[in-house]
Amino acid sequence: MRLKNLLPLLFVLAAILFHTSCVRKSVFRSPYTNLQNSYHVMPVITDSTRSANYISLASTHGFGNDNWSDGLAIGQLKFHHAKTMGNFQGFLGAHAHAGFYRIDPSSYYNYYYRYEPWQDTIFQYNGPSGRKFTGSVGINGGLTYTLVLGRKLEWRILGIEASLGREFGEYLDVRKQIPDSVITYTDKRNTPVTIGGFTELVFKPSNPRFRFGYQLAVGSGIHRLSNTSLSQGNLTPMYVNNTFQFTMYRYTGYFQARVGDYFGGIQLGFSYRL
């Protein structure tokens, strides 16, 4: 097959894989599908400590909606307990978020309009815009199986993680008020629930007080977003988190690069072992 005949097929495959579209969409999601499952520190198996409590602070800055036209800045306070049971490790904790979601005016009326021929006018929906307060509280849990690969490496081969939240604030109120006829998707629920999996490599230098690692986590919300007014199908929001962490004594710093459906951002966090 000649190269010029392959090009249309490659474009189709790219559109399927990355959800690209020539049509501008308007998507108002809960940000907590992507924020609730943040990084949870756990002792390594070779530590003398079999269980520990941690308190964490983190800040997320990112973008939402189609073309990442909206912005967000949300802080997180978290407490969790981690425990080692043979080769199994787990955590259970609680989280709280507070911050702002900024709705760009173009999220509504750059594309979503309708022409009314009997009035010879174009209807444009100028919805709420600007910074909207958002917050949530909830719980997290996870479990993983870990292999010790020599003295300097542990591999948390496959873990599962889940979260349940209760969202509140102005941004939730806006999503509840937006008519389905002027947007593609909106999440009107106030109970974001997520489930996912992760794998993590933890490196242990010769000094036992130091360690660092990388974690990849993939998951989704359990609620589908749909729109009966438009033929857009359903959307189950996904998330992919890439985490780099460094631990020194009781202190752990971590950096997360987060992407998902109509979402992208970074999180900087700090955990302290009590």
- The residue among 74, 44, 51, 48 whose CA lies nearest residue 61 is 74
Query: What's the pLDDT tens digit per position in 193-226?
Result: 999 999 999 999 988 789 999 999 999 999 888 7
Percentage of the chain exceeding pLDDT 70 = 82
This prediction has a pTM of 0.83
- The residue among 190, 187, 228, 28 whose CA lies nearest residue 108 is 28
CA–CA distance, 246 with 252 (Å, rounded to integer): 6
- Tell me which fold the domain 25-273 belongs to: Lipocalin (2.40.128)
Query: What's the pLDDT tens digit per position in 219-255?
Result: 999 988 876 655 567 888 999 999 999 999 999 999 9
H helices of the chain, where?
3-18, 32-35, 106-109, 170-177
Report whether 225 contacts 234 (CB < 8 A). Answer: yes
Report whether 219 contacts 195 (CB < 8 A). Answer: yes
Q: Give the C-alpha distances (Å, rounded to integers) separating 74 from 100, 147, 202, 255.
A: 6, 35, 28, 15
Asked if pLDDT for residue 271 goes beyond 60, the answer is yes
Query: What's the pLDDT tens digit per position in 129-159?
Result: 899 999 999 999 999 999 999 889 999 999 9
